[in-house]
Amino acid sequence: MAMANMINVSGAVARDARVRLKAPVDVVVERGEHVAVVGVNGSGKNLLVELLLGHYPLREGSVEYDFSPSLTNAVYKNVQFISFRDIYGSAEVDYCYQLRWNVHEQTDIPTVADVLGVDEGVRELLQQFGILYIMNEPVVALSSGELRKLQIVKALSCGPRLLILDNPFIGLDADARTMLTALLSSLAVSGSVQIMLLLSSLADVPQFVDSVIPVEDMRVGKKVARESFVLRESQNKNVDNAHLQQMLLSLPVVQEDTVDEVLSFNNVSVKYGTRTILRNISWKVRSGEVWLLGGANGSGKSTLLSLVCADNLQSYACDITLFGRKRGTGESIWDIKKRIGYVSPEMHRSYLRNLPVKEIVASGLFDTIGLYRRPTEEQIEACRFYMDLFGIGHLAEASFLRVSSGEQRLALLARAFVKDPQLLILDEPMHGLDDDNKARVKAIVEAFSRRRGKSVVFVSHYECDAPSTVTHRLVLEKCM
């Protein structure tokens, strides 16, 4: 006799203590039900989903499936799971930092057409997402938003019974978020696929969700109706980060070779093959300014910032001045980076080091991917300060690869701040963070930008994430 539910988890406890939640798991996903799994960073959302999918052998309890009328109950045939990591990388190609900016020097990188095929169903999905133009582009050359859309198209093209998406709205511009919500709502109504969303932010719970499974402190709560959950959680928000701002504002300011004009672009253009990414951009950032950099997915925001940090080879062919020195006049890449703190989707995408979190943070002192020099006691103290500031002091000894994606992002933010840079570049810094951590990061950025001699470039598709200290805006238009 067939089960009444698609997935039935009863008293499940993982055999491996490293992936074990703090209490046995009891979860039911009914046929036709659309579910959101909601919890803060590090609460155990992904561990729950991996348990649901049978990734971990059980010490006790059971996980049962009924995907009928599918001809098989095999999970891999009926479920598509797009993890947070999938927004940054792809199984089709090995990714390394700076590859995206220099991919057109390679000849063996698969294109979107190679990955998806070229049938009409795929083309229609790409058209719905507004990204048909990427069909012949190398996968690793795509922006983080374009990658997110691509991964969802790829999953849907497999015709799954259950589609699981981890924070699907991150990295998408406002139009793309509206488009994705409408598409998922349409799929939900059609009954062709059930949807499960893993979400860190209450604001991301869409209307089509029927039920919410709360996860807190590595424990799975009882499933509740969406309306009840949203009402309850919205009444519990009261975050005060004034003490964090005071911690940062109390730091002494080290003045070293400060200049009024931090960076200058003069008619800068970037082109890959026949595709123009940036066209005639002139831009100046002065000391003390806070810039909000905006634009749709694929408009060139991350490419622009790769030129600042000299991660893009084309930066040496452009008219760029940084800290009063014209690019290409003999400075080393380390001269460029030593005054800049930087975090981006590309950095998170490539940072796959199995190192303690404290070493990840310390690597920001030397601008390396990994730690190859021993920090001084003063530098170690700075690392402790910024880990505490970002709320990850308790993770100092934990492996970077074993903490949650949100906790990884906080570690990379601490890495960007740790040398107290003159120029702070934050490219989508809120990716995957829960509401409280977003408020924490926003408060820290606002305090940093109020200190003398500091400049900030902040990228976000969410206006509410932008610091209140923004003084200037630059919105890039997509080159067609």
Amino acid at 373: R
Rounded-to-integer distance, Cα 170 and Cα 207, Å: 18
Same fold across 5-234 and 242-476: yes
pLDDT in tens, 300-344: 998 999 999 888 888 888 999 999 899 888 878 788 888 999 998
**Mean pLDDT, all residues of the chain:** 88
CB 394 within 8 A of CB 380: no
Domain 5-234: what homologous superfamily?
P-loop containing nucleotide triphosphate hydrolases (3.40.50.300)
- Residue 78: what pLDDT? 94
CB 134 within 8 A of CB 150: yes
Query: Residue 227: phi, psi to the nearest 5?
Result: -60, -40
Cα dihedral sign for 44, 45, 50, 53? positive
Q: To which residue do tokens 């990379």 refer?
A: 412
**Residue ranges per domain, the chain?**
5-234, 242-476
Beta strand pairing status for 261-272 and 320-322? antiparallel
Say what the pTM is: 0.87
Determine the distance from the C-alpha atom of residue 167 to the mean position of all C-alpha atoms in its chain, rounded to a whole number. 9
Q: To which residue do tokens 């030593």 refer?
A: 338
What does the angle CA 174 – CA 428 – CA 281 come to, to the nearest 5 degrees? 80
Structure tokens at 235: 């009444």
pLDDT in tens, 367-415: 887 777 888 999 999 999 999 999 999 999 999 999 999 999 999 999 9
Query: Residue 356: phi, psi to the nearest 5?
Result: -60, 150
Rounded-to-integer distance, Cα 344 and Cα 429, Å: 7
Is 256 a residue whose pLDDT tops 70?
A: no
Q: Spell out where 400-447 has E strands.
A: 423-427
CATH of region 242-476? 3.40.50.300
Structure tokens at 85: 């990591």
